[in-house]
Amino acid sequence: MFLLSFSILWILYSLNQFAIVSGVKVFMLFIPSVLLVYLYQNIKLTIESKILLIFLLFIFFNQFLNIFDSNSNIITVLTNNVRLVSVLLLVIPFYYLYNKNYKLFDNLFIISILIVIVSNFYYYFTIYDHYERFRGTFGNPNEFALFLTFLIYFVLYYSNIYNINFKKKFFLKLFLMILLIAASLLILISLSRSGIIIMLILYLFYYISIRKSIGFLSKLFLFFILILVLTYLYQIFSQEFLLLIERFTDSEGSVSTKTRLEQILAASNALNDNLPHILFGNGTGITSDANWFGRYYETNSLNEVLRIHNSFMSLLVEDGIVGLGLYILFHLIIFIKIFNLNNSLKYLLLGYFLGAVLYSQMAYIVYFFPYWLSMVILSLHAERLKK
């Protein structure tokens, strides 16, 4: 395998002496493939991680099918391709790092959650302009809310997997409960409808998962009490409570839904006009190019086009049936792994998984590193609970 890798590098280095594509050297473009050969040799990969690896390789090599296409913007395709490949390259080593010392990783992640929550509340009370939506760590309220739902999932998982309760570890349990309430409040502050829906799904599935500890009616009662408490706390210190209600009831919600439907229709038109590309797509990130996708969907005053708020439809346009198929297969394997668990925490994992996949139907999350990381950790948690 080493000789094969070295041979590939040598050939590409030779090509690099005379071949440059849009200012990007061919040799540099192929480095990820060699890194992946190394990763495949040295890291014990699960089935879905191998699918993720194949998806990464497909995304990487797929750029060369579109790079000379006159209909594609070469710079857009290359830039977005490198962006996605970089995200996936960062995610895959977590299969090795987490299994190496999962307890250390879990504790570090809890500390990271504390830092994220404290820093965002500091920003909210000191710098934030209360006349606009709170965008949080990632500068995007919806992505921020999705990230927070994963933090909630992780705290609930951590509390149960290490059997943390008030009798044995009072202060740690109290600390984790404060983290849950704080993260939930930040989701409400973000005014993200999708984030709030996912949070409710997650909590509901969690209460189902602990049905052996308390009765079903008690779980429903606690669930509604939690929502009431969060709503009350939110009204106390937030000026955006009415805006949150309007997000679900006023015309703003209708406009947002209409926009998403228009984007899906535009994507369908793009597919019909580019049927020869249906198998491998028109290029990663091409729907963000105003010159290309602007033919199907209106641009703003800055000649920018809004990304399709649907990851599945975006992937179909950009990376074709093959790319979308690999993406779905990756998620399907994780779902099967979780569904086959014989553990009470099965429903907690299932709740976050279904919520996150639902979110990907309402937004474009393919470049969002925390989303991929959450799927990898979810898969590793399922592996751990199976033992």
Q: How many residues does the chain have?
A: 387
Task: Return the structure tokens found at 159.
Answer: 């509390």
pTM of model > 0.95: no
pLDDT of the residue at 27: 45
Cβ density class 160-195: b for 16+ within 10 Å, e for less: bbeeeeeeeeeebeeebeebbebbbbbbbbbbbbbb
- pLDDT given at position 329: 95
> Residue ranges of the chain with pLDDT lower than 70?
1-44, 65-78, 130-131, 164-168, 211-225, 228-260, 299-307
Give dist(CA 75, CA 284) in Å, integer: 11
Which pLDDT score, from 0 to 100, does residue 375 have?
A: 93
pLDDT score, position 321: 93
The reported pLDDT for the residue numbered 354 is 92
| Residue-level pLDDT at 140 | 84
Strand, helix or coil for residue 24: strand
Please check whether residue 25 is in contact with residue 16, taking contact to mean a CB–CB distance below 8 angstroms: yes
How far is Cα 168 from Cα 159, in angstroms, rounded to an integer? 12
pLDDT at residue number 247: 57
Amino acid 338: pLDDT: 93
Selection from 145, 156, 144 nearest residue 347 by Cα: 156
305 SS3 class: strand
What does the pLDDT read at residue 165?
Answer: 62
Domain boundaries, the chain: 2-94
In order, the DSSP letters of 33-48 are: HHHHHHHHHHS---HH
Q: What is the dihedral of CA 180, 142, 361, 91, to 10 degrees?
A: -70
> Which runs of consecutive H residues, i.e. helices, occur in the chain?
2-16, 26-29, 31-42, 47-66, 74-91, 94-100, 102-126, 141-161, 170-189, 193-209, 216-237, 241-249, 251-273, 290-293, 311-339, 346-360, 369-386
Structural tokens at position 258:
């209409």
Q: What is the pLDDT of residue 343?
A: 84
